[in-house]
Structure 1
Amino acid sequence: MLDPGDITNEELERVGREAEQTIKRIAGLQERLAAIRGTGSGADGRIVVNADPSGRIDSIDLHPRVMRLASAELSEELLRAVNAAQDDCARQTSALMAEIGVGSVMDKAVFEKMERHLTDAHTAFLNEIERYGR
C-alpha cells in the first residue's frame, strides 16, 4: 500500500509537471490531426480532390478540359482522385500516430476522452497535493 507520507514534494511536483506535459502533447496532437488534409488527383492532374481529416471530401476541382472525357472515363478518374485523397489522409494520420508511438489509428473522440481523463486525473492529483499540504 502506498503511504502518501513517503512521497516527497519533489516527486509530487515532478509527477504534476509530467501530467501537464502529457496533456499539452495530447492537445498538440489533436491540433496536428485536425490540420491533416489529403489530396488526390486524376486525369493527369485535371481533377484535384481534397479531403478533411476524417477523409470526407471537402473540395473537387475540375479543369474545364476534363469535361471532354467520356462519362465512364470521367467517373473512373474522379473515383481515382477521391480514393487517392482519402488514402493520403489515412497515410498522414498513420504516420502521425507512428511518430507518437500509437500503433493503430484513433479518432478524435478517443483523444478527447483521453485528454479529459488526464485532465481530471491531473486535477484530482493537484487537489490531493493541496490537501496533504494543509
Structure 2
Amino acid sequence: MREFGEFANIDVDRFLNGVESQIARTGRLREDVAGLVGRAQDEDELVSVEYTTEGLRALDIHPKAMRLSSSELAEKIKATLQDASQDLQTRVNAVMGEVFGEEMNPMRFVADPEAAMSQVKSAEATYKRTFEDVMGELDRIRRGLE
C-alpha cells in the first residue's frame, strides 16, 4: 500500500501540542493587543493623542493651541490622531511578530496583498495535489477491492 506522503508519519501528540500552543499564543496576543496604546504629539507640543484598539482614548490640547485658527487646530488634531493610529499599528505589528514570528506574521499581508495572494495560491496548489493524491489512492483501493 502506498504511503500518504507526510500524513502517514504525523506525530499526533506533537500536532496537538502545537495546536494548544497556538491557541495559548492567540490568547496572549488578544491580551497584549488590548493593552496597547498608540501615542503621538505634534511638533509644537500643542496636541497630544492616545489611541487604542477601541479608538480615541485621550486628546490633550495645550492652552496655547487656542491661539490657532479653528482650521489650523483641526488639522493638527487630525494629523496627530493619524500619527497615534500609526503608532498603534506599529505596536500591533511588533506584538504579532513576537507571537507568530516575522515570517508568519499575518499583519505583513496588510501592507503586501500580492504576498497574501501568493500564499493563497500556494496553499491552493498544495490542497489540489493532496486531494488528487488521496483520490488516486482511494481509486486504487476501490479497484483492488473489485
Q: With structure 1 as the length reference, what TM-score do the two structures score?
A: 0.60
Partners of 1:25 and 1:43 in 2: how far apart? 38
**Alignment partner of 1:104 out of 105, 109, 119:** 109
* 1:90 paired to 2:95: no
Unaligned runs of 5+ in 1: 106-134
Distance, in Å, in 1 between the alignment partners of 2:16 and 2:78 is: 50
Moved over 4 A (4+): none
Structure 1 or 2, whichever has the larger Rg, is 2
Q: Does 1:49 align with 2:81?
A: no
Letter in 2 for 1:31: E
- Which letter does structure 1 place at the counterpart of 2:67? R
Note the C-alpha offset of 1:97.
2.9
- Structure with more contact order per residue of length (Cα contacts < 8 Å, sep ≥ 6): 1
Unaligned runs of 5+ in 2: 111-146
Count of residue correspondences: 99
User: How many angstroms does 1:43 deviate by?
Assistant: 5.3
Report whether the alignment pairs 1:69 with 2:61: no
Could you list the per-position Cα deviations for residues 29-51 of structure 1 after superposition, in whole angstroms to 9, with x for gaps in the alignment?
Answer: 11111112111112512210111
Report the equivalent of 2:80.
Answer: 81
**TM-score, structure 2 normalization:** 0.56
> Hey, what does 1:27 align to over in structure 2?
27
Which whole-Å deviations, capped at 9, do the CAs of 1:66-102 have from their partners, x for residues lacking one? 1122222211211111111111112222233334222
Q: Secondary structure at the match of 2:44?
A: coil
**Structure 1 position 13, deviation (Å):** 3.7
